[in-house]
Structure 1
């Protein structure tokens, strides 16, 4: 973070506060329009019972990109223009889908174009597994990025759920940027996401006044995935896996289970662990509180893993994270009274 300025902590704090305030102001300005043109009506996937405006992701993404970009320019950092362009494209896809649903295949192709543009224009020396041919590694990153973008969208089905995920992850990434060698722009971007989601949270707490919508969840997935990729490429793969481990486990296990049952996994459903938890007697605040607490634990393990070069200790941290996630998923499956 020395690349930022002589006082990186002050700049990071400024980015967090500015992103939060901008997000709050934009949501207040947008709410009347969202009530008119972007109502989310209850469907098979929904946890809400009344039509609720969606699209607050416009404010979250605008606040994140504007504050991160301004801070980076002020600090003399290179701003990855392709990342910002791809984020705007995938946000536009989400916005259209929020107002007038897009068919699955065109939506997936547009998402793949956004993720692919970011993936294949990464510097050639930015590698996770140098022993693999570059084309194969980038292909795997593309698939992983496309899945991550969609799983963030899939998991955005409960009030405050995305905030409970993004705030600990983004906060941990920003903290890691302050205490160790890491991508300076990723640090600023994570701080901006952290602040913007804090600004969004009061509007989304149960019972939510507004939802992110696909215009928020899809680009959040892209930006967060890019930050995690930067972490993995800086020899911190275990930390990059630990931070989103709950989302990865819930979404991936649910997808595999639906595929094994030959169910249309692309269709709206309520079979994620967090959704089953509300059906099993957990209140929304209880589910979100447990997910947030779990993510704080995962963030602590991720940060701890970066302080050692011992592979066994890093694997032990990952095993601890897997055990913690498994415990929460098991509790969600069993029901509140178990």
Structure 2
């Protein structure tokens, strides 16, 4: 079997494994990991969290089976093993935080260690800007970027289906990139397994959710997404890697700076994100996630065009259009909904 085609063949098994584990784990999570609503919650009923266990387990079990059956180079297998190990360790940190919240500093240090494992073990010789900056500086910036992506994915997991609407299209696009040869086959396989895992989880998280991801899911999903985007950028498709996660990055980053400007404790829970403002401004959860998903499909199209045409001006146009579309949706969410 052509290893480039493998991503398309493992999506359904990963989805089936994830959905089956959601069914099996939900009674246990109701007993031990029930998220009760508070003043900052978007949900109104106690809901079990920890669905991320099913997403990761379904994705990784399928991925391991594919690696055993398909002819991948030893180096690529080793990279994926390191990535899965780091994501599993980060899931453990998230599970700990779900059950007994960790101090912010401790949580950040543990997250940084997991991001460091990926950078220094799964991509030890991987460079994006070898001619522009020394290795130490690039690694430091990559560590900060990876740490921020881990946290922003967690911050953005605040309403039903929002992570599915944000991360599943990204993973699906990267799986297609792997199948088409625009991304290395191992990364494409990881993206497909991740996409399948999220699709299997989606029916349980649809509004009104019967199961939440929890930090056990959102944190490693952020790490895996950051790694895949890093690999995509390394193919020369930096513009596409910037475009694909733009809504999540823009909403979380703008919100962070706005909170810093107001002197708020940014490590504390809040309801300041644009998608959270939208729920107050008259948008239903389904409307919000539908519009986020549609934007992400448009971003995928722009990212795909930027990969197909490497002309400098085409890159700028694609990035500019992506920024405008993302800005319009943020502005739309920030305004009061006027209903007829």
TM-score for the superposition, normalised by structure 2: 0.95
The match for 1:55 is 50
Cα offsets for 1:174-208 (capped at 9, x unmatched): 11112234221110010011111111000000100
- Equivalent runs, 1:198-209 vs 2, <5 Å: 198-209=199-210
Find the aligned partners of 2:43 and 2:56 in 1 and give their Cα distance.
24
Cα offsets for 1:94-146 (capped at 9, x unmatched): 11111111111111110000001111235454211112101100110000000
Find the aligned partners of 1:53 and 1:124 in 2 and give their Cα distance.
38
- Equivalent runs, 1:189-204 vs 2, <5 Å: 189-204=190-205
The match for 1:89 is 89
Is the 1:44–1:268 Cα contact (8 Å) retained in structure 2?
A: no
Q: 1:162 to 1:85 in 2, by over 3 A?
A: same
Find the aligned partners of 1:298 and 1:239 in 2 and give their Cα distance.
9
The match for 1:112 is 112
Is the 1:45–1:157 Cα contact (8 Å) retained in structure 2?
A: no
Q: CA deviation at 1:45?
A: 3.0
Is the 1:173–1:190 Cα contact (8 Å) retained in structure 2?
A: yes
Q: CA deviation at 1:82?
A: 1.8
Find the aligned partners of 1:323 and 1:147 in 2 and give their Cα distance.
23
Cα offsets for 1:53-96 (capped at 9, x unmatched): 00010000011111122212321223222211111110000111
Q: CA deviation at 1:14?
A: 2.5
The match for 2:63 is 68
Find the aligned partners of 1:124 and 1:98 in 2 and give their Cα distance.
31
Q: CA deviation at 1:7?
A: 6.9
The match for 1:46 is 41
Find the aligned partners of 1:122 and 1:137 in 2 and give their Cα distance.
16
Find the aligned partners of 1:137 and 1:69 in 2 and give their Cα distance.
31
Deviates more, 1:42-51 or 1:310-319: 42-51
TM-score for the superposition, normalised by structure 1: 0.96
Report the 3-state secondary structure (helix = DSSP H, G, I; strand = E; otherwise coil) of the residue aligned with 1:48.
coil
Is the 2:150–2:223 Cα contact (8 Å) retained in structure 1?
A: yes
Find the aligned partners of 1:262 and 1:171 in 2 and give their Cα distance.
38
Find the aligned partners of 1:44 and 1:127 in 2 and give their Cα distance.
44
Deviates more, 1:44-53 or 1:28-37: 44-53
Cα RMSD (Å): 1.3
Is the 2:34–2:49 Cα contact (8 Å) retained in structure 1?
A: yes
Report the 3-state secondary structure (helix = DSSP H, G, I; strand = E; otherwise coil) of the residue aligned with 1:235.
coil
Q: CA deviation at 1:6?
A: 2.8
Gaps of 5+ in 2: none
Find the aligned partners of 2:143 and 2:112 in 1 and give their Cα distance.
8
Find the aligned partners of 2:13 and 2:329 in 1 and give their Cα distance.
34
The match for 1:6 is 2
Find the aligned partners of 2:294 and 2:30 in 1 and give their Cα distance.
32
Q: CA deviation at 1:12?
A: 2.4
The match for 2:32 is 37
The match for 1:28 is 23
**Are 2:250 and 1:249 aligned?**
yes
Find the aligned partners of 1:45 and 1:255 in 2 and give their Cα distance.
16
Find the aligned partners of 1:12 and 1:65 in 2 and give their Cα distance.
13
- Equivalent runs, 1:1-338 vs 2, <5 Å: 5-6=1-2, 8-9=4-5, 11-77=6-72, 78-79=76-77, 80=79, 81-131=81-131, 132-337=133-338
Find the aligned partners of 2:88 and 2:123 in 1 and give their Cα distance.
21
Find the aligned partners of 1:41 and 1:65 in 2 and give their Cα distance.
29
